[in-house]
Chains A and B, each alone.
Chain A
Amino acid sequence: MIEAKRLKKYFPVERGFFRRKTGEVKAVDGVDLFIGKGKTLGLVGESGCGKTTLGKLLLGLLEPDSGEIIKEKGLKTNIVFQDPFGSLNPRMRVEQIVTEGLKIEKRIEHLKRSAERLMDTVELPRKSLAKYPHQFSGGERQRISIARAIATKPNFIVCDEPVSSLDVSIRVQILTLLVNLQKEFGLSYLFIAHDLGAVRHMSSTVAVMYLGKIVEYGPKEEIYKRPLHPYTKSLLLSAPTPYPKAKKEKVLLKGDVPSAVNPPEGCRFHTRCPYAFEVCPINEPLLMQYSTNHFCACHLHQPKSNKNI
Chain B
Amino acid sequence: MNILEVRDLKIYFYAEQGIVKAVDGISFDIKKGSTLGLAGESGSGKTVTALSILNLVDPPGKIINGQIKYNGASLLDLDAEKMRMLRGKEISIVFQEPLTALNPVLSIEEQMYEMLLAHRRLSKNGCHKIVIEYLKKVNIPSPQKILKDYPHQLSGGTRQRVMIAMSLLLNPKLIILDEPTTALDVTIQAAILDLLMQLKEEMDLSILFITHDLGIIAEIADDVVILEKGRVVEKAGTLEIFENPKNDYTKRLLNAARFLEVSPL
Q: If A243-B242, A244-B242, A256-B158 touch, does A234 touch B187 (CB 8 Å cutoff)?
A: yes
| A129 at interface, CB cutoff 8 A | no
Q: If A241-B218, A242-B242, A252-B190 touch, does A236 touch B261 (CB 8 Å cutoff)?
A: no
- Expressed in whole angstroms, the Cα–Cα distance for A255 and B194 within the complex equals 13
- CB distance A242 to B265 under 8 Å? no
A:169-224 near B, CB below 8 Å: 169, 171-172, 194-198, 200-201, 224
Among the stretches B14-22, B171-179, B248-256, the one at the interface with A is: B248-256
Q: With a CB–CB cut-off of 8 A, which chain B residues contact A244? A: 218-219, 238-239, 242-243
- Expressed in whole angstroms, the Cα–Cα distance for A197 and B259 within the complex equals 9
Q: With a CB–CB cut-off of 8 A, which chain A residues contact B263? A: 200, 224, 236
Q: With a CB–CB cut-off of 8 A, which chain B residues contact A236? A: 262-265
| A92 at interface, CB cutoff 8 A | no
- CB distance B185 to A47 under 8 Å? yes
- CB distance A235 to B218 under 8 Å? no
Q: With a CB–CB cut-off of 8 A, which chain B residues contact A233? A: 265
- Expressed in whole angstroms, the Cα–Cα distance for A18 and B265 within the complex equals 53
- CB distance B253 to A168 under 8 Å? yes
- CB distance B256 to A240 under 8 Å? no
Q: If A195-B262, A200-B262 touch, does A253 touch B187 (CB 8 Å cutoff)?
A: yes
- Expressed in whole angstroms, the Cα–Cα distance for A238 and B261 within the complex equals 11
Size bin of chain B's contact surface:
35 or more
- Expressed in whole angstroms, the Cα–Cα distance for A257 and B155 within the complex equals 9
Q: If A168-B212, A256-B157 touch, does A242 touch B261 (CB 8 Å cutoff)?
A: yes
- CB distance B262 to A241 under 8 Å? yes
Can you list 6 pairs linking A and B with CB atoms under 8 Å apart? A168-B212, A201-B259, A234-B187, A238-B189, A240-B190, A241-B215
- CB distance B264 to A241 under 8 Å? yes
- Expressed in whole angstroms, the Cα–Cα distance for A149 and B262 within the complex equals 28
Q: If A168-B253, A240-B213, A256-B157 touch, does A198 touch B260 (CB 8 Å cutoff)?
A: yes
Which residue in chain B gives the minimum CB-CB distance to A49?
B185
Main secondary structure of the interface of A (DSSP, over half): loop
- CB distance A239 to B186 under 8 Å? yes
Q: With a CB–CB cut-off of 8 A, which chain B residues contact A172? A: 256, 259-260
- CB distance B261 to A197 under 8 Å? yes
B:213-262 near A, CB below 8 Å: 213-219, 238-239, 242-243, 252-254, 256-262
- Expressed in whole angstroms, the Cα–Cα distance for A215 and B155 within the complex equals 23
| B99 at interface, CB cutoff 8 A | no
| A46 at interface, CB cutoff 8 A | yes
B:183-206 near A, CB below 8 Å: 185-191, 193-194
- CB distance A235 to B186 under 8 Å? yes
| B41 at interface, CB cutoff 8 A | yes
